[in-house]
Structure 1
Amino acid sequence: MAPEQLRRPPQAPPVFTATAQSIVEDAKRIIEASRKVQDEVVANVKPESASFASVLKPLAHDENTMALESHILGFYQAVSTEQQLRDASSKAEELMDEFFIESAMREDIYKLVDATVEKKESLDPESRRLLEKEHKDFIRNGLGLPAGPKRDRFKEIKKRLSQISIEFQKNLNEENGGIWFTTAELDGVPEDVLAGLKKGEGENEGKLWLTFKYPDLFPTMKYAKNSETRKKVMIDNENKCNQNVPLFHEAIILRDEAARLLGYPNHAAFRIEDKMAKTPQTVNTFLGDLRSRLTAGGQKEIQTLLNMKKTDLESRGEAFDNHYYLWDHRYYDRLMLEKDYSLDQQLIAEYFPLQTTVEGMLKIFEELFGLVFVEITGDDRSKVAPSGKGSDIVWHEDVQIFSVWDDEAAGSSFVGYLYLDLFPRPGKYGHAANFNLQPGFIDAQGNRRYPATALVCNFTKPTPKKPSLLKHDEVVTLFHELGHGIHDLVAKTIYSRFHGTNTVRDFVEAPSQMLENWCWTPSQLKALSKHYSSLSPEYQAAWQEQAGGKSVPDEQIPDDVIANVIRTKHVNDALFNLRQLHFGIFDMTVHEPASHAAIEKLPISATYNQLRKQITQMEGPESLGLGDDWGHGEATFGHLIGGYDAGYYGYLSSQVYSTDMFYTVFKSDPMNPKEGRRYRHSVLEKGGSQDEMQTLTEFLGRAPKTDAFYKDMGLS
């Protein structure tokens, strides 16, 4: 049990007691309060007397205060089981977005900010950055345009884009489609996956309902022997949210129009200007160079997989068609890892029960960064809850909550709250992501406000005979998202604007991507592992029942299995990265048209599918005569509507930075506590409070290089 002083956080956690009515009312209340602050600044300050203290300070404190409620009001739509609550949350987000657009286009405030810039006051670096960003944001929000029709049109576009974004993500969260399959059609899919599927009645008697949620979708694509089953799942999954098709198209056209109104040649030029890359040309050169380095490797990998497909089909007495389709890839990739690398994903998963893996990961962060995680359970929840009711501080009974502290050597001070919401349920956000619930900052009285952050994932639910078990790629995903959570927790900035993961988009993934390397380090994999049969006598009995007389396995994963996992790090890596390139190049293609007429005419779905075929070199249904419009993957691609527009390349460019950091600082000794703490203080704590290139260069002791990235992928 945690020491008494670590069970009494100095700041209560947020509460999740909203109703559909209160969410919308609260949104209106905080908007009114914020508008009042803005009006008071305008009423009390004239351009000639404008200063950072009289203009920016009150606005920044208001932004800090608003964020304590606004993030949570918008969060319910991703996690609530109640449709009305999710709808109200979407409505609240829409109201708040409209207000943010209105605020960003207030000419009266812009004039005061502009006058403050002219004063050239001596400010601390973070305040200077806030002033510069605020000034530039006003210009990027249309205040450089003359008042009148152009500026009005720009505002109209911003409002509509906000509505599209909310509706698009809502459609994805609410998606509840699936397919009825017979057990024969699902031959090969693991038994524990089938056991969790809904059973059919009436006309679907004897069939199972397969959803498009990850715990159903991925195992089916990896294990279903019947290629027709995989094909159907793949095509239907790409068509699961077709109501998003017109929304995506409209968003692309409106973004282009808005960028041109501001004098940019296209949306990509507008978006990339304030990122690390600075220009679309830099991005296109990087993506093009990577594509040329990967293409031959991709062809070679496909040839090897094609040979495996031939052997597999002929061994089953089926005809080989000499084609490698999109729906073949997860299946033969998995088969290759099993046959050529003795990699049994089901066996590996037995060593990574979700709860012990989470505990192991938190232990790594404790050792590396000097943190202590204390789970808040039972009566302690009631003691820390402002209302005295423990259920008020979580939004669902499955959610775990931890108070996070500095270790004793660092003074045992409070850091913040971490929440884990790990299992799928209807209406919940369908991927894995980290959500900031409350940012950290220094309040108007000079006191530190501590952050709260949530991991929202969709891992397989436990059953009476088996806990939730993670495949190795899920271990990597969990560690990656926890990395975002740690970034969010340990950041120490003056203003919430720069807190945690509020960095430029082509850097934000780098800290988490760097931490993924720990999941490819033998000592850390060993430390994370614990065979589920050792968790309880009941689990051991259930394991023995299905193991058919095998002796009880070692508690930790055997070294030879670890060695096999490590050997596969770059297997079919060219194809994996070509898939990422497809997303990145598609993103740039739709956001960098030659003219506005060109984007209006561009067949978006066909372009998405054609580019995928050209870049990944895998065939899709178009090879079977279904045309290039057979699926609408862009309609399921939340990133490009949710902030990664003209920014998806950031996943790949961040990988350059993350690999450089790992190779330079951690590769020889991943658990070096001195370097871990240096990384925490010089990279993670900074958030977006200084130029990200400066952060990176200071940590590395030089400008970043691509050498380690290409070396790690075997492309140097």
Structure 2
Amino acid sequence: MASSSKYSKPPQPPPCFTATPKSLVEDTKRLIERSRGVQDGIAKDATSDTASFASVNLPMARDDNKMGIEAHIIGFYQAVSTDSGLRDASTEAEKLMDDFGIESSMREDIFKLVDAALNKNETLDPESRRLLEKDHKSYIRNGLGVPAGAKRDRFKDIKKRLSEIGITFQKNLNEEKGGLWFTPKDLEGVPEDVVASLKKGEGENEGKVWLTYKYPELFPTLKYAKNADVRKKVYMGNENKCNQNIPLFREAIVLRDEAARILGYPNHAAFRIEDKMAKTPETVDTFLGDLRERLAPGGLDEMGKLQKIKQEDLKRRGLEKSYDGHYFLWDHRFYDTLMLEQDFSLDQQTIAEYFPLSSTIRGMLKIFEDLFGLVFVEVAGASRDQVSPTGKGEDIVWHPDVQVFSVWDDEGEGSGFVGYLYLDLHPRDGKYGHAANFNLQPGYIDEGGKRRYPATALVCNFSKPTPKKPSLLKHDEVVTLFHELGHGIHDLVSRTTYSRFHGTSTVRDFVEAPSQMLENWCWTPTQLKSLSKHYSYVSDAYKSAWQESASNGSASQPPETMPDSLINSIISTRHVNDALFNLRQLHFGIFDMTIHEGSSHDAVEKMQISETFNRLRKEISKLDGPEVLGEGYGWGHGQATFGHLIGGYDAGYYGYLSSQVYSADMFYTVFKADPMNGKEGRRYRHTVLERGGSQDEMQTLVDFLGRKPSTEAFYRELGLS
């Protein structure tokens, strides 16, 4: 991270977040009218004889570019704003935008012109050729291959309803406020700082605390609460939150299947996978089935060891009579954590003391600087006023907690501007509840040949700092942060002509690969050392608080960076219970394919979705749920919280596993011997990340690897080769 004056004046101001509920809707209508005018103009001026890429596709691509500068932020407010009025307006605006998108994608007059332009077979640069072909295919996939009439009208109605479902489903998740009241005694074993941060009860709940299903409260409880009944209540509550999403999920599955059949596909999976790297559902099913077969024996072996630890733990606590031979879903995080502590000396609380959020972020940015030739400059204090288009620094963030960085090329890369990076890292009411990267403004080349620079945001939910401790990350949270920052870097360094292909705008079964590859740096001893800094060195106040908490205040201050013994304990656990973890991912992937590969529309309509979700979980992950207690498979509705399958990963969740094939191959082939090889890092930046989706993703891999990708490193990493 730098503060040199040469990096203080970006050539493009950051976006502003000064919208009102009224302006969001008005701006959306203005953007829609402008785009409709562009399309109407093309339809008026071009004919099948005169249609060309320049007269038909290029004006729409340039309009898309401009649209992205405002539209992404308009939709972003619903994920991050503390103002419910702004969130509602953002939701309304997104519905308007989606409806217009459906209208545009089904304009037959424009499609005929795109078809004529494609048939001209002009000589175009590769990215423009790809845009033309993608545009053409998109119109067909949006119903224009279906004769005009009742079927096409029905398809359009389905598309509109699916858009409404997606927006409402995610809004329900963002605004979910469920939880449970517990006494501090109920939460025995949960870290004190977590319990101390919980809302205190009043009246009938005097003496109790309110535990929500937000990650910073949910996961520590499932990992550390000694009382199995408490873990069960929390687990079951989380599986049954957002029940208003249950009918929405079912409706989406049924409508997707109907739409795919209208287009002539046998099911939704065949429709979705056709334009991905896998191409066919059969390829996906074979991959998932093979992986399941390879992982199952290891999963049973791992569960046997964990079951033994459970039995010993209950005996040690005088609860041996409560052991019933089962290993439950709400047992797993607890005994997995206990195994890591007992057998591998992995003390998660001590490890977290070495990963204060602020210094860990600085360490990560330094890795990306060295590897990719970047410079990150924090925009804070008076410098915010200087770069803000309004002169007010508070206008360039949506919340006071948000950090902003201007990102530049280092001297070796030419010292040019790259874009803006935003970090929004702590939970709050109404905020998106997981960890994700959001593009705020895409990059592209404008009509005058000038570069328009991107802005990207990491939205996460790590615990908040307190007067006695900064926000401290568990190692798995460090991995999550690195992963999402990897998406952010992909978004920043992309160099495409059209915003359509910018950054992470790749096929879904490739998009995770770059971030998954970068996770390897979180398992490299030298990088863990460089990322670490004991929180007692962050400030004098934290040093004093640490001394007060240490036994009798006489303990000597820990080393500033993580000791090798702790680092080794982290590295040694990388593949502990790996089979069970990957079987969990397989459960999600196989469930996704199962509900989207119905043998008939009638079969899809009759599918028992909750029962299917829970039955597959038991069959694949091997862990017991309430079904073994005679409650049947309808005990929970996990799909109602599964935002991925409504938000774009439908018939695509397998991509998290298939992308690992590519990420493992890239890391082991190029970076394993020397993870901080700057020459290879820059080659990776220019060969993979810069391309975005502007060329076929398999070609990108071949360009980088020098050959087609192989599964060997993936299976070797899992111990299955």
TM-score > 0.5 by shorter chain: yes
Q: Secondary structure at the match of 1:653?
A: helix
Specify the SS of the correspondent of 2:401: coil
Counterpart position of 1:621: 626
Structure 1 counterpart SS, 2:244: helix
The answer on 1:536 being equivalent to 2:564 is no
Structure 1 position 380 matched with structure 2 position 383: yes
Describe the SS at the equivalent of 1:13: coil
Specify which of 541, 546, 549 is matched with residue 549 of structure 2: 546
Give distance in 1, aligned partners of 2:626 and 2:344.
30
- Secondary structure, counterpart of 1:418 in structure 2: strand
Question: Does 1:681 pair with 2:686?
Answer: yes
2:665 aligned partner:
660
Within 5 A, what are the aligned runs for 1:123-142?
A: 123-142=124-143
Give per-residue Cα distances to partners, 1:235-279, cap 9 Å, x unaligned: 010111100000000000000000000000000000000000000
Determine the C-alpha separation between the residues in 2 that align with 1:557 and 1:173: 36
The equivalent of 1:450 in structure 2 is: 453
What is the identity, as a one-letter code, of the residue corresponding to 1:306?
A: Q
Cα distance in 2 for partners of 1:181, 1:119 equals 70
State the one-letter code of the partner of 2:250: H
1:536 Cα offset (Å): 1.4
- Aligned to 1:619, what secondary structure does the other structure show? coil
What's the secondary structure of 1:628's corresponding residue?
coil
Q: With structure 1 as the length reference, what TM-score do the two structures score? A: 1.00
Aligned residue identity for 1:151? R
Residue in 2 that maps onto 1:60: 61
Q: Deviations over 1:37-69 (max 9, x none)?
A: 000011111110001110011000000000100
Q: Distance in 2 between matches of 1:188 and 1:3?
A: 47
Residue identity opposite 1:705 in structure 2: S
Out of 514, 518, 527, the position equivalent to 1:515 is 518
Secondary structure of 2:510 counterpart: coil
Give 1:220-239 correspondences, 5 Å limit.
220-239=221-240
Summarize the alignment of residues 128-527 of structure 1 with structure 2, pairs less than 5 Å apart.
128-318=129-319, 319=321, 320-527=323-530
Q: Distance in 1 between matches of 2:541 and 2:603?
A: 63
Residue 626 (structure 1) shift: 1.9
Structure 2: which amino acid aligns with 1:401?
V
**SS of corresponding position for 1:324:** coil
C-alpha distance in structure 2 between counterparts of 1:410 and 1:87, whole Å: 43
**CA–CA distance in structure 2, aligned partners of residues 274 and 537 of structure 1:** 56
Selected match of 2:639 from 623, 634, 659:
634
Deviations 1:637-665 (A, max 9, x none): 00000000000000000001000000000
Partner of 1:565: 570
Aligned to 2:580: 575
Deviation at 1:410, TM superposition (A): 1.4
* CA distance, structure 1, for counterparts of residue 35 and residue 595 of structure 2: 36
SS of 2:49's partner is: helix
Residues 117-128 of structure 1 correspond to what in structure 2 (within 5 A)?
117-128=118-129
Residue 674 of structure 2 aligns with an amino acid whose one-letter code is D
State the alpha-carbon separation in 1 of the partners of residues 157 and 564 from structure 2: 60
Alignment of 1:62-101 (within 5 A): 62-101=63-102
Q: Does 1:610 align with 2:611?
A: no
Which one-letter code corresponds to 1:621 in the other structure?
Answer: P
Amino acid at match of 1:149: A
CA separation in 2, counterparts of 1:267 and 1:441? 32
Instruction: Kindly provide the amino acid, as one letter, of the partner of residue 481 in structure 2.
Output: L
| Distance (whole Å) between structure 1 residues aligned to residue 548 and residue 658 of structure 2 | 48
Alpha-carbon separation, structure 2, partners of 1:445 and 1:54: 17
- Picking from 701, 709, 714, the partner of 2:714 is 709
Aligned-residue sequence identity (percent) comes to 73
Post-superposition offset of 1:400: 0.2
Cα separation, 2, equivalents of 1:618 and 1:547: 39
Gaps of 5+ in 2: none
Could you tell me how far apart the structure 1 residues matched to 2:260 and 2:278 are?
Answer: 18
Q: Distance in 1 between matches of 2:348 and 2:310?
A: 19
| CA deviation map 1:441-476 (0-9, x unaligned) | 001111110000000000000000000000000000
**Cα shift at 1:11:** 0.2
Determine the C-alpha separation between the residues in 2 that align with 1:33 and 1:474. Answer: 43
- Helix, strand or coil: the match of 2:420? strand
Paired residue type of 1:588: M
Whole-Å Cα distance in 2 between the matches of residues 694 and 170 of structure 1?
Answer: 37
Matched residue SS, 1:206: coil
Deviation at 1:438, TM superposition (A): 0.2
Alignment of 1:30 with 2:35, yes or no, is no
| Separation in 1, partners of 2:355, 2:712 | 33
Query: Aligned AA for 1:201?
Result: E
Q: Which amino acid aligns with 1:497?
A: R
Structure 2: distance between partners of 1:87 and 1:630: 32
Amino acid at match of 1:304: K
Correspondence for 2:649: 644
Distance apart, 1:550 and its partner CA: 2.1
Provide the C-alpha distance between the structure 1 equivalents of 2:412 and 2:248, rounded to a whole number of angstroms.
Answer: 53
1:695 corresponds, among 700, 705, 711, to: 700
- TM-score normalized by structure 2? 0.99
What SS does the aligned partner of 1:565 have? Answer: helix
Residues of 2 paired with 1:547 and 1:109: CA distance? 71
- Partners of 1:656 and 1:313 lie apart in 2 by 40
**Alpha-carbon distance, 1:299 to partner:** 0.2
- Whole-angstrom distance in 1 between the partners of 2:25 and 2:318: 61
| Cα distance in structure 2, aligned partners of 1:100 and 1:307 | 56
Distance in 2, matches of 1:618 and 1:550, equals 42
Q: What is the root-mean-square deviation of aligned Cα atoms in Å?
A: 0.5
Superposed CA deviations along residues 296-329 of structure 1, whole A, max 9, x for unmatched, are 0000000000000000001111121110000000
Give the residue type in structure 1 aligned to 2:339: M
The letter of the residue matching 1:616 is S
SS at match of 1:511: helix
CA deviation string 1:139-172 (max 9, x = no partner): 0000000000010000000000000000000000
Q: Which residue identity is paired with 1:87?
A: D
Q: Secondary structure at the match of 1:670?
A: coil
Bigger mean CA offset, 372-381 vs 536-545: 536-545
Query: 1 CA distance for matches of 2:34 and 2:180?
Result: 48
Per-residue deviation at 1:5? 1.9
Figure out how many residues of one structure are paired with residues of the other and give that number: 716
Out of 566, 590, 597, the residue aligned to residue 585 of structure 1 is 590
C-alpha deviation, 1:624, in angstroms: 1.6
Distance 2:682 2:116 in 1: 41
Distance in 2 separating the partners of 1:7 and 1:229? 52
Is 530-539 or 417-426 further displaced after alignment? Answer: 530-539
Give SS of 1:611's match.
Answer: helix
